[in-house]
Structure 1
Amino acid sequence: MKTWLITGVSSGFGLEITKQLLKSGNKVIGTVRDMSKVTDLLEQYPDTFFGELLDVTDEKAIQELVALSYIKHEKIDVVVSNAGYGLFGAAEELSDDEVNHIIATNLTGSIQLIRSVIPYMRKQGGGRIIQISSYGGQVAFPGNSMYHATKFGIEGFCESVAQEVAEFNIGVTIVEPGGARTQFRYGSAKVAKLMPEYDGNPAHNFLNMLDASKVLAPGDPEKIAARIIESAEREPAPLRMVLGSQALISTINTLKVRLEDFESQTELAASTDFPVKG
């Protein structure tokens, strides 16, 4: 039995991971913003599910939760930074509050959670940190600029941190799921106040994606959760894990184009160096 700390377990991947872990006999410390959303889990698993209220935009609350969790449970084997949401709309359509809140939630909140758990994992001799990102951490689409900003950002942070903590037996995995049939897409997604100037613009293509009557995401949340759980046992920890065939194809194609663009700049890049002294 292992102890997992997971943020955002009221729906989506967080909930599915939690249910599978509890069913297999693990302990889960799961954070929510509304405890009524996990009443059934508290009743069904009174000895192994521990619901905690947390707003991940509150840095002090994150630190206090992590400290209290280690006092109560002594060791946390796996931490899953999952809390987050999508924000859709052209960059011009987004309000300052919308921009600031998604950064505080998806990016800063994840950074502070990971920073808070590292000292404890280092002292306990190791652990696993799993950051739920998206293939949107590698591939950008119009109408989703701030979501991509947070995911590109957290991936850079995690890739750096993974190198810093490897010698302490702490593994870091960035999970990049494709579209899945969860509330993230069909319930919790936030949409900016749309401007008529962008009607017919690619920035509004997301409206079809969010309409379940028009298209359903290919990803199965149960299978995605199972692969995430399995990754915690892999050694060494996989740095990145793309889940979803469409997501993988899109990522590979995007990276190929990016690589070709970089390779075409060989002479341009060299033109800015000091001459090599022979």
Structure 2
Amino acid sequence: MSKVWFITGTSKGFGRIWAEAALERGDRVVATARNAATLADLVERYGDNALALQLDVTDKPAVEAAVAKAHEHFGRLDVVVNNAGYGLFGMVEEVSEEQARAQLETNLFGALWVTQAALPFLRAQGSGHILQVSSIGGVNAFPIVGLYHASKWGLEGFSQSLAQEVAAFGIKVTLVEPTGFSTDWNGPSAVTAEPLEAYAELREQFAAARAARLGVRGNPEATGPAILKLVDADEPPLRLFLGAGTLDMIKAEYAKRIAEWEQWDDVAVAAHGIVEEVA
């Protein structure tokens, strides 16, 4: 049976690629973007299988209305993809209050509003799969994108809780964690804070390290089949990395964490205090 998708941020990048992958195989897609005009070609190519809606995910009432309209139009929702988001570049000290709040409003709260709006429909039908587009930066962190990490770590946290809360209703949750791909995440869609001279040397060092770490960027088009395989799985994972080198990176990161926790475990245990046994 064909699936009904609700995807945010489908004007370009992963959202567009995944919408097209779903439509190409005969699924139906509710595609949303801040500018609905960018979605006109999807409707032209795929006809009644595509519904284009204008949506700013930071507008909670608009999110609720869009999700309700999507459900009314197609009669169900099978896959909800929270893809809308952007990168904020700047050291923690450099980021303005406005920039920090805007980053969290889109990347974290936008996904939360869509998730909350979709859940009553998914619970009622006893099925559904929520895909939260996180990042390798949702399980690791680097300089210059601290507030971006904050938004993705927040998404990771509530989504892991959510997966446990909704499992009994037949609803699956997967955090999709891409590494570096040739999208415009760090291009026109990105926001950059005003740099401070104090961080100039670190900025140069990080840029060189990042270029060496990422190597050849992934091809976004290759993620389409992976996402289709994910949503077709009977038992999808809570987390799915996208891209080469991700597993090795996280193994190394967690090895460092465990070594440090073990080194300080005596302090941690001592901090528990003495618990007197009751006779």
Q: Aligned Cα RMSD in Å?
A: 1.9
The 2-side partners of 1:207 and 1:97 are apart by 29
User: Are residues 1:5 and 2:6 paired?
Assistant: yes
The 2-side partners of 1:19 and 1:134 are apart by 21
Structure 2 residues not aligned, in runs of 5+ = none
Deviations 1:111-170 (A, max 9, x none): 111111111100011110010000100111100000000001100100000000001110
Distance 1:53 1:33, change over 3 A: same
Structure 1 residues not aligned, in runs of 5+ = none
Letter in 1 for 2:238: L
Match of 2:22 in 1: 21
Which aligned pairs between 1:119-134 and structure 2 lie closer than 5 A? 119-134=120-135
Match of 1:221 in 2: 220
In the alignment of these two chains, the number of paired residues is 274
Question: What is the CA-CA distance between 1:195 and the residue it aligns to?
Answer: 2.3
Match of 2:151 in 1: 150
Letter in 1 for 2:67: V
Answer whether contact 1:143 1:206 (CA < 8 A) is retained.
no
Deviations 1:30-78 (A, max 9, x none): 1111122122112111211111000011111111111121122110110
Normalising by structure 2, we get a TM-score of 0.93
Answer whether contact 1:143 1:203 (CA < 8 A) is retained.
no
The 2-side partners of 1:207 and 1:65 are apart by 43
Letter in 2 for 1:238: P
Match of 1:50 in 2: 51
The 2-side partners of 1:203 and 1:91 are apart by 16
Normalising by structure 1, we get a TM-score of 0.93
Which aligned pairs between 1:231-246 and structure 2 lie closer than 5 A? 231-246=230-245
Question: What is the CA-CA distance between 1:273 and the residue it aligns to?
Answer: 2.1
Match of 2:253 in 1: 254
Deviations 1:85-129 (A, max 9, x none): 001011122111111101000001111111111111000111100
Which aligned pairs between 1:1-278 and structure 2 lie closer than 5 A? 1-202=2-203, 205-206=206-207, 217-277=216-276
Helix, strand or coil at the partner of 2:194: coil
Answer whether contact 1:89 1:191 (CA < 8 A) is retained.
yes
The 2-side partners of 1:248 and 1:188 are apart by 27
